[in-house]
Structure 1
Amino acid sequence: MPDASLPGVHHITALCGDAQENLDFYVGVLGLRRVKTTVNFDDPTTHHLYYGDAAGRPGTTLTFFPWPRATNGRGGAGMVRTVAFAVPPGSLAHWRDRLAAHGIEAEDKTYFGEPRLHFSDPSGLPLALVATAPVEDATPWTDGPVPADRAIRGLHAPVLPVFSDDRTAALFTDVFGWPRTGTDGDRVRLQGPGTGVGTAVDLLVRDRHPSGRMGRGTVHHIAFRAPDSEAQRAWQSILREHGLQVTDVKDRHYFRSVYFRDPTRTSGLLFEIATDGPGVHVDEEDTALGQSLALPEHLESRRAELERALPTLSVP
């Protein structure tokens, strides 16, 4: 095993419809901070919107590619089922009322002894707010519409559908070193070695899952944290030694990424290992995070073209 562990989830990236609708919901309703407004580096005429805590830390970030012309997706095998956020204990009544005031119906559920609200975003992405133990190093965004004592802390255990005869659980336990910490019906919780938010996943283990279809309201990939590039390279080698096809390192400006997907070892889900740094502050001061279009150096010469092609976004 490499010297560095994978502490937890780095970020989750999903697909949505209208960019402004997405921004209005995640900032105006859920109270997250927009920490980066950039573009899809593989398709720079498409926005890439980042939402997170006050500092945009790994473990708090949900990002989106807006595809307004795309058809609705269908959740199922090969994609994250539910994106969950951690909120303070005792805050769910407030959240239920807040969601209802915005015309959003939420369903009460409990897994692993944690009460939660389940609902969907405007593009149909399944979400959950989970009342869980306070996080000491939490830095919730407090300049938004949600009071600090109720604000989202970061990502909580996302739900990954896996097949009962796949080896995905063994990838986490035997390769990642994430032990099983509980079972609730057909859900298995796996706990990473990090502290704070975004340090667990829930596997939804079933003999069958419906087939998924990528589109609006579905998750494109889930990324796990590597502390630095050295640790990432070590994991790249380890995964290849276990027979997984891992990409070369991709420079995503705010982090470095490698990707892998396997029919049984990841149950068809696209996994990424992303470095913690350099982070969202590499090209913007803290007070300016997310407020204007940020471009990597290799796209800066196309700024005028891209600004004309991209929709204008207004603060909710």
Structure 2
Amino acid sequence: MSISTTGLHHVTAIGGNPQRNADFYLRTLGLRLVKTTVNFDDPGTYHLYYGDAEGRPGTLMTFFPWDGVPDGRRGTGQATTTAFSVPANSIGWWQQHLEAAGVRTSRITNSDEEDALSFQDPDGLGLALVAHPQGDPRDPWDTPLVPGEHAIRGLHSVTMTVAKEDATAATLVDDLGLRFVHQDGNRLRFAAGDGGPGALVDVQVSPDAPRGLVAGGTVHHIAWRVPDDATQLAWREELVGKGYDVTSILDRQYFHSIYFREPGGVLQEIATDAPGFGVDEPLLELGRALKLPPWLEPKREEIQEGLPELDLPDENNPEVAEILAERR
């Protein structure tokens, strides 16, 4: 493989009620809503992006949330757990914080000696918080509800569940440029670049598990980082040459994307780092207004009328968050 990813760009999932989704990820998990927009392929649905202060690649969890979405089923051919990175001394704090919010947790230590909490969001999406022994240098989003010393640093890893190991492993290594790290029972760990939080994927091999159904409470796709358009184009040509069915390059306004399925069925995206979330609004105002791409702007009134209202907490405004943090 001549081109390799440096790590995860984002994970996109399907949620239920948009307000409930925002309340959980902003208030309970303490992330920042860095972009309020719509699903460009289905403008009647929000697309909400959560991340750090600037929405840097590797910190992003995004959702297509809408009321009445049927429940999905976790199984093979899916990313079944999305893990966030937290400081090594914060797992106890998070356990108390989540349980106080009515979220049931399970505490585990994995084979890499990472202390972790597993839990689900209000729609049943599988999540985890992981404390990497070597720490995570990324700056957190600091809010009064989740102070900076305990706050999420970004994505840690994603777990993909597949029925068979070989073809998926080959795709990760030969076509995405990851390296095999180790195997623990039916779980294989792969790393991009130097490894560490934000550059890890675990493959859980479950031949007897049911086939997953992508709907409410499940991951739609995982995205890997690529630095620029030229590298993405070269990568697309290489993947097509190997026989993958790859989409054309799609303009997602804040990055450019291509998509393909690995042999185990998990939808993969390769997304550019640029142009980023400041392309259509100032850093201080990220996420506070509905943003539409130029080709949907003429339908703004119609789109807004079809979307439910979304009440964002004051903590999503950096100026207010700073004042509230000083009052702690």
Q: Do the structures match in fold with TM over 0.5?
A: yes
Q: How large is the Cα RMSD of the aligned pairs?
A: 1.4
More displaced stretch, 116-125 vs 144-153: 144-153
Residue 268 (structure 2) pairs with residue 271 (structure 1): yes
Residue 96 (structure 2) pairs with residue 94 (structure 1): no
Q: Deviation per CA, 1:75-126, whole angstroms, max 9, x where unpaired?
A: 1112111010000001011000001111111001122211110100000001
Q: How many residues align?
A: 311
Deviation at 1:149, TM superposition (A): 0.8
Deviation at 1:144, TM superposition (A): 4.9
Deviation at 1:195, TM superposition (A): 6.5
Residue 130 (structure 2) pairs with residue 104 (structure 1): no
The residue that corresponds to 1:309 in the other structure is: 306
Distance of 2:252 and 2:105 partners within structure 1: 35
The residue that corresponds to 2:123 in the other structure is: 123
Distance change (3 Å), C-alpha of 1:164 and 1:195: closer
Deviation at 1:166, TM superposition (A): 4.0
TM-score by length of 2: 0.92
Contact persistence 1:11–1:59 (CA under 8 A): yes
Contact persistence 2:86–2:136 (CA under 8 A): no
Contact persistence 2:249–2:257 (CA under 8 A): yes
Letter in 2 for 1:86: S
The residue that corresponds to 1:212 in the other structure is: 212
Letter in 1 for 2:102: G
SS in structure 1 at match of 2:278: helix
Deviation at 1:135, TM superposition (A): 2.0
Distance of 2:167 and 2:290 partners within structure 1: 41
Q: Deviation per CA, 1:230-250, whole angstroms, max 9, x where unpaired?
A: 111111011112111111101
The residue that corresponds to 2:286 in the other structure is: 289
Residue 250 (structure 2) pairs with residue 250 (structure 1): yes
Letter in 1 for 2:31: L
Q: Deviation per CA, 1:18-54, whole angstroms, max 9, x where unpaired?
A: 0000000000100000000000000111100000011
Contact persistence 2:11–2:222 (CA under 8 A): yes
Deviation at 1:16, TM superposition (A): 0.4
TM-score by length of 1: 0.95
The residue that corresponds to 1:135 in the other structure is: 136
Q: Structure 1 stretches of 5 or more lacking a match? A: none
Letter in 1 for 2:24: F
